[in-house]
Amino acid sequence: MTPANYWPLGSTIQKTFTDLSSGTLYRNCGIISVNPVNGHAVIIFRRGTAFNGQSDYGKICIRHSSDGGANWEYEEVLFEENNVDLRNIAGGYDSSGRLYVFYARYIPTGLPPYQSMNYRYSDNDGSSWCNQITLSKMSNTVFSPYGHIVDIGDPSDSGDTTLYQTWFAHNSSNPAVYKLYLYKSTDSGDNFYEADTITIYSGTSLFSHPTMVNLGGGCFLVLAKINSGTKFRQFKTGDNPEGTWENLGETNFDTLTSDIAPPWLSFINYQGVGIVACYYTKRGTTPYKLNVVFGLATDLLGNDTSGWNSSTKKEVFSFPSSVTGYLSFFHPQNQFKGIGNTFEGSSVCYPKIVFTPEDDMISLFETLGL
């Protein structure tokens, strides 16, 4: 598939769509992804009456686009459960075109409120789904998936694809312990095993919402939100995710407010050169902004956080109103043209779609010395 197949109307379109049902509902915590086999695009998100609440039981909804995200079908309810809030969507398409949805089952009045983490997959762009598969909560009182699924292909030549999904958790012991995790599948996503759960970080620092990219050669990079912090926390491993993860410290490309939103990493392969994009929402002072910063993969393999090139930092757009800050981006087949979404609004929240502007990317390559 070429970029033109994904974005037939050009790469500089910025398109929004608002609530098509009641105008009073809250849509958030979702992902956008493109099928690498046929170019079909989906956005999957939680729909409720608010971000959360004791009587707010969210449903998981989907919208489809067959023209690369220029137009979207009316939303459909995928999954719902009586008196359970289904929330915090993660996953997306793998290289075979299988679509995954990871989510948490949450009961606002429950003790603890988080009941289980689950996933489903579809082999026909969401027309039908496998039965709900429950993943262990591993004795944590809070847990949630986050980020896009990472597909590293078939490293063992077994005929099965290896996949990773990032998630985070903490327990209520005193002091509380916060953890960043990876679920792993070695059978093309049919199962994600508890025994294969990989720990990126475990300690008393309030890290959450990890997002990961594969830099190649067994090297992986993770950024995580620092709750009540003003930076992101960076981790890397050079010997595959099952090896040793190094805590590299705080990023230095921007100073955020204490009202920090989660980051989102995407990998770009530009003529054989690896580039990592970090998308993030800058909120706390108006106008809120959706920003992006880039770094060469080779620079990000260092032992600190200096691999990000602050000269490449760009504003994607400003929000006319308050914004939740949750976002998702996808670069199909690691192309430099990407499609993303964020969620705009406060009491009424809806997705906003954005496309990578090609002219800005050419300028970026020059800044990176390419």
Residue 343 domain-assigned? yes
Q: 103: exposed, middle or buried (C-beta count within 10 Å: 0-12, 13-18, 19+)?
A: buried
Global pTM reads 0.93
Q: What is the pLDDT of residue 100?
A: 98
The predicted-structure confidence for 329-368, as pLDDT tens digits, reads as follows 998 888 887 888 888 776 677 788 887 777 777 888 889 9
Hey, what's the torsion of the CAs at 66, 68, 73, 75, to 10 degrees? Answer: 120
pLDDT digit string, tens, across residues 140-171? 788 999 999 999 988 778 788 999 999 999 88
Domain count, the chain: 1
Report how far residue 327's alpha carbon sits from residue 58's, in angstroms, rounded to the nearest whole number: 18
Residue 150 in domain: yes
Contact residues for 266 (Cβ-Cβ < 8 A; gap 6+): 148, 213, 276, 277, 279, 329, 330, 331, 338
Model pLDDT, residue 17: 61
Q: Is residue 313, in this structure, part of any structural domain at all? A: yes
Greater model confidence, 294 or 176: 294
Task: Choose among 322, 123, 326: nearest CA to 209.
Answer: 326
Alpha-carbon gap, residue 273 to 370, rounded angstroms = 9
In a domain, 1, yes or no: no
The predicted structure's pLDDT at residue 3: 45
Please give the span between the terminal C-alpha atoms of the chain, in angstroms, as a whole number: 24
Q: Which domain holds residue 146?
A: 15-367
Query: Is residue 7, in this structure, part of any structural domain at all?
Result: no
- Residue 81 is part of a domain; what is its CATH number? 2.120.10.10
Residues paired with 233 in a beta bridge: 224, 250
pLDDT, tens digit, for every residue of 62-110? 999 888 787 889 899 999 999 999 999 999 999 999 999 999 999 988 8
> Nearest 5°: phi and psi at 70?
-70, -35
Distance, CA of 121 to chain centre: 17
| Domain assignment present for 194 | yes
188 domain residue, yes or no: yes
| Cis amide bond preceding 8, omega within 30 | no
Q: How far apart are CA 263 and CA 196, in angstroms?
A: 25
Reported as a pLDDT band with limits 50, 70 and 90, residue 12 is very low
Under 8 Å between Cβ of 90 and 44 = no
Residues near 150 by Cβ (< 8 Å), separated by ≥ 6? Answer: 163, 164, 165, 166, 212, 213, 214, 220
In a domain, 327, yes or no: yes
Q: How far apart are CA 292 and CA 172, in angstroms?
A: 34
Predicted pLDDT at 292: 93
